[in-house]
Amino acid sequence: MNQDWRGVVIRQLLLLISACLLVGLLSGEYAWALAVGFGAFLGWTLWQLLRLQHWLHHQTDQAPPHCSGLWGEVFDSLYRLQRRAQGERDGLQAVIDRAQESTAALKDAVVMLDADGNLEWWNRAAQTLLGLKTPQDVNQPVTNLVRHPRFKEYFEQRQHPEPLELPSPVNEQLRLQLQLTPYGHGEHVMVVRDVTRVHQLEQMRKDFVTNVSHELRTPLTVISGYLETLVDNAEQLNPRWLRALQQMQQQGLRMQNLLNDLLLLAKLEAADYPSDNLPVTVDLLLLSIQADARALSAGRNHRLSLEADPAIRLKGSEVELRSAFSNLIFNAVKYTPAEGQIRIRWWADERGAYLSVSDNGPGIEAKHLPRLTERFYRVDGSRAAHTGGTGLGLAIVKHVLLRHRGHLQISSEPGQGSTFTCHFPVTQLVRR
Name the residues that contact ligand ADP, by CB under 6 A: 327, 331-332, 335, 359, 361-362, 364, 372, 377-380, 383-384, 389-394, 418
State the residue number with the nearest CB to ligand ADP: 389
Of 37 and 361, CB closest to ligand ADP: 361
- Residue 5: CB partners within 8 Å, gap ≥ 6? 70, 73
Q: Which is nearer to ligand ADP, 168 or 326 (CB)?
A: 326
The secondary structure of residue 118, as a DSSP letter, is: B
Minimum CB separation of residue 317 from ligand ADP in Å reads 20
The residue among 229 and 382 lying less far from ligand ADP, judged by its C-beta, is 382
Q: What are phi and psi of 242, to 5 degrees?
A: -60, -50
Please choose, from the candidates 5, 12, 14, 15, the residue with its C-alpha nearest in 3D space to the C-alpha of residue 76.
5
Rounded to a whole number of angstroms, the minimum distance from the CB of residue 327 to ligand ADP is 6
Nearer to ligand ADP, 264 or 394 (CB): 394
Q: Which of 274/393 has CB closer to ligand ADP?
A: 393
Q: For the CB of residue 362, give the shortest distance to ligand ADP in the complex, in Å.
A: 6
Measured from the CB atom, the residue of 191 and 384 that comes closer to ligand ADP is 384
- Choose between 48 and 358: whose C-beta lies nearer to ligand ADP: 358
Q: Which DSSP string corresponds to 67-112?
A: --HHHHHHHHHHHHHHHHHHHHHHHHHHHHHHHHHHHHH-SSEEEE
Q: Is 351 strand, coil or helix? A: coil
Q: Shortest gap between Cβ of 352 and ligand ADP (angstroms)?
A: 23
* Residue 246 or 257 with smaller CB distance to ligand ADP: 257
- Report in angstroms the alpha-carbon separations of 67 from 37, 49, 73, 75, 269: 20, 11, 8, 8, 81
- Cα(333)–Cα(359) distance, rounded to whole angstroms? 8
Smaller CB distance to ligand ADP: residue 199 or 345? 345
Q: How far is the CB of 363 from ligand ADP (least distance, A)?
A: 6
Looking at the Cβ atoms of 64 and 393, the one nearer to ligand ADP is 393
Q: How far is the CB of 361 from ligand ADP (least distance, A)?
A: 5
Contacting residues for 184 by C-beta, under 8 A, at least 6 apart: none
Closest separation between CB of residue 251 and ligand ADP, Å?
15
Q: Kindly write down the DSSP assignment for every residue of 17-60, as one continuous string.
A: HHHHHHHHHHHS-HHHHHHHHHHHHHHHHHHHHHHHHHHHHH-T
CB of 373 to ligand ADP, least distance (A): 7
- CB count within 10 Å of CB 44 equals 11
CA dihedral 238, 243, 245, 247 (to 10 degrees): -170
CB of 154 to ligand ADP, least distance (A): 27
The least distance separating ligand ADP from the CB of residue 337, rounded to whole angstroms, comes to 10
Q: At what angle do helices 196-232 and 239-270 cross, to 10 degrees?
A: 150
- Kind of pairing, strands 109-113 and 119-122? antiparallel
Residue 111 CA to its chain's centroid (Å): 14
The residues near 228 (Cβ < 8 Å, ≥ 6 apart) are 249
